[in-house]
Amino acid sequence: MISWGKSGPAQAEVVDERPRASLESGASSAVSSGASHGARHVAIIMDGNGRWAKKHRLPRAVGHQRGVEAVRRLVRGLGPMGLDCLTLYAFSSENWKRPEDEIADLMALMRKFIRSDLPDFVKNGVKLKIIGDYKVLEPDIVEMIEDALRQTANGTKTIAVALNYGSQQEIARAAAKAAEQGAVTVESISAHLDTADLPPLDLLIRTSGEVRLSNFLLWQSAYAEMWFTDVLWPDFTPGHLEEALASFAMRERRFGGR
């Protein structure tokens, strides 16, 4: 069952390099209370399903299945962490280059996840949001997504899922819409981004040891803190998220000031 805690007040943010073996004294309990880390919006580039499968000598499809289980485990452990929004990079606009059988496996997993977890989203007041152009997916998936969006529309906490998403394309669309309406400014572009109705991004996490953004939330990450870990996505747990949030809580955000 999915449950969410109350969000904490906005405070300081963080940038981290790699997860430490242990947290500084008191950091873990502060995160568990959901009251002092200060993050409202966390995004995750969920990377490493294929490498996890290779490491365990299993098919890539099994790696993706375990990746979905990691999503479920993480969402169900969010209650004490005090976040308003969690954004997950599920399928990029570049992922269409993958083999057809792998794409089919990913779409099947998406169908299964929506069917199995939608009741929990509704019961626990979790709002589903999609960023990216999901309407190019297969018609039955589009129908399932739109039904899920309707059923969760009144949720007070948000899970945003990036599907067929590319940040460069998103910025180009937003700039074009801004130009149609008048001056192209930082504010007018921001107002037309897919994430315009979400809290500003505080912390971006990437798993699997890669240290790049891969066309994900480029605009939104301008002043977000970043945390990279060697942990492969199927092995990522709520404890790793707590570690990232504890690191975040120990950083000072200046936004270009002193």
H helix or E strand, kind and range, residue 89? strand 85-92
133 is written with which tokens?
């152009």
Task: From the candidates 16, 47, 84, 105, give the one annotated as an active-site residue.
Answer: 47
- The CA-atom distances, in angstroms, between 172 and each of 45, 129, 216, 219, 223 are 21, 21, 14, 11, 20
Q: Is 95 designated active site?
A: yes
List the catalytic residue out of 95, 133, 215, 235.
Answer: 95
What sign for the dihedral angle of Cα 121, 122, 127, 131? positive
Contact 159/127 with Cβ under 8 angstroms? Answer: yes
d(C-alpha 3, C-alpha 121), whole Å? 9
Instruction: Give the C-alpha separation, 192 to 49, whole Å.
Output: 32
Token pair 């949720």 is found at 155
Q: Is 47 a catalytic residue?
A: yes
The residues carrying an active-site annotation are 47, 95
